[in-house]
Structure formats: C-alpha cells, structure tokens
Amino acid sequence: QLVESGGGLIQPGGSLRLSCAASGFTFSSHAMSWVRQAPGKGLEWVSAVSGSGGHTYYAYSVRGRSTISRDNSKNTLYLQMNSLRAEDTAIYYCAKVSVTTTINDAFDIWGQGTMVTVSS
Amino acid sequence: QSVLTQPPSASGTPGQTVTISCSGRSSNTGSNYVYWYHHLPGTAPKLLIYRNNQRPSGVPDRFSGSKSGTSASLAISGLRSEDEADYYCAVWDDRLSGWVFGGGTKLTVL
C-alpha cells in the first residue's frame, strides 16, 4: 500500500515536500516513481529513484526544481518541489516498480494521490 | 504534446472489440517494453498490461496487448460498461532517461 501526503495550496515560487508511506512490501528493494495528473490532462511521469536511492531521474519539466529521495528506514518516498509554478498544479501519485532488479518496469502499485495547487 | 501518440477517444457497444493504438519512436516503443494503465480520474491508476502483452493476475483475458516496431495496441474484447475509463500507454525512453506516457484515450461504451 502507498499513501501520499503533503499536498496543499502553495503560492507560485514556493516549496513543498510530498511524502509517500509504503507498507506491505520490502520497500528498499523496489524503485519508485512520482507521476502527476494536471486538471483535465493526462498522466505525466515526474521522477524516479532506485531502491537504494543512489540513482535518480527527472522529467525535463521539473529538473533543477525538484529532488526525489527516500528513507528506507522509514519506508517513505519524498519529492521536494521548489520554485513551484501554476503548471505544477496536479494530483501527485507515487508508484512502485514491480520487480526488484530495474527502475524501468511496470508500476504495479499506486497511491491514491495528493493534490498540489499552485496559486496566489 | 505527448511523446507517445494515442487517439484521444474511442468507443464501442457492449460486446464489441475496441483497439487503442500507441505510437512512439525508436528510443521508446522501438526498443523498450510497453505498459498499459487503466485510470478513472481521482482514483489510483491500475496496471493492465506489462511488457507488451502480459496480464497481471486479476486482469481479465478480454484485455490484450501487442507491439510491432514502434507501435503498440491495447485490445478490449467483449466490451462492458465498466470498461469506461481512460487508458494510457507508457514506455521508458532511452534518449530522455525517463518514462513517457501517451496522452490517454477516453473509452466510452455506448
């Protein structure tokens, strides 16, 4: 199970840290990703991190403004977002990669999402 | 504009077969597995097809996936009203070093 938190209303230029609490599987063995959906738009991948946390990947739209990380001792995934823009307004989902050996395989478990609204 | 191209909408009547296409390029669909997700807005997306044509346990065999070259397809046979949802293809892109999603296809059961 994955449960996101940390969303809310934030002013343009502000910062926010999203969290994703994992349970029911060996968290440290699986890569994780953040995927978002802006209002009326489709799914957009945001960022990924390997099981160890040593390898990270970002979409161009958030690169340089966001940092993905994880605390395997707490079974928690994070997404630190800075310099937020109106176009970052979206539901943010965390997703678990199904297999333990790679970062780019199926997302077999998704959270329910947390809403981030960037507006003045 | 999405890196992967899907039709924005598809429709069919109960019992029919509907096919949704997903077109990409050599750096994504041409060299990596394609995945399909079912999504009802406001809920958690659900994995439908993995590695081009594999179904997770619990997904009915009415759903099937295929890939040829840089294009992939999701077929839904024996269409049911509960199949109404948004469907997305997703692929890892080697050039971008990240995932790309199709724009999504809204399926309507008439």
**Which tens digit of pLDDT belongs to each residue from A46-78?**
999 999 999 999 999 999 999 999 999 999 999
CA distance A22 to A109: 10
Tokens 């945001």 correspond to: A46
The per-residue pLDDT for A41 is: 94
The per-residue pLDDT for B42 is: 84
Backbone conformation region of residue A19, classed left if phi is above 0, alpha if psi is from -120 to 50, else beta: beta
Cβ density class A68-99: b for 16+ within 10 Å, e for less: bebeeeebbbbbebeebeeebbbbbbbbbbbe
Q: Tell me the shortest Cα–Cα distance from B2 to chain A, in angstroms.
A: 9
Do the chains contact at A112 and B43, CB–CB below 8 Å?
A: yes
Do the chains contact at B101 and A44, CB–CB below 8 Å?
A: yes
Please tell me which residue of chain A has the smallest CA distance to B97. A57
CA distance A80 to B63: 37
State chain B's mean pLDDT as an integer.
96
Query: pLDDT band at B93, cuts 50/70/90?
Result: very high
The per-residue pLDDT for B101 is: 97
CA angle centred on B9, ends B7 and B11, rounded to 5°:
125
Contacts of residue B99 in chain A, CB cutoff 8 Å?
Answer: 33, 35, 45, 48, 104
**Which tens digit of pLDDT belongs to each residue from A14-49?**
999 999 999 999 999 999 999 999 999 999 999 999
Q: Tell me the shortest Cα–Cα distance from A4 to chain B, in angstroms.
A: 11
Q: Tell me the shortest Cα–Cα distance from A12 to chain B, in angstroms.
A: 24
Query: pLDDT band at B1, cuts 50/70/90?
Result: confident
Q: Which of A29, A36, A50 is nearest to A104 (CA)?
A: A50
Tokens 């070093």 correspond to: B97
Task: Choose, out of A34, A45, A94, the residue to mutate when testing the contact with B (most B CBs < 10 Å).
Answer: A45
Q: Is residue B106's pLDDT more than 80?
A: yes
Q: Is residue B14's pLDDT more than 80?
A: yes
Query: pLDDT band at A100, cuts 50/70/90?
Result: confident
Do the chains contact at B90 and A112, CB–CB below 8 Å?
A: no
**Which tens digit of pLDDT belongs to each residue from B20-62?**
999 999 999 999 999 999 999 889 999 999 999 999 999 999 9
Q: Is residue A101's pLDDT more than 90?
A: no
Length of chain A: 120
- Alpha-carbon A66 to chain mean position: 10
The per-residue pLDDT for A46 is: 98
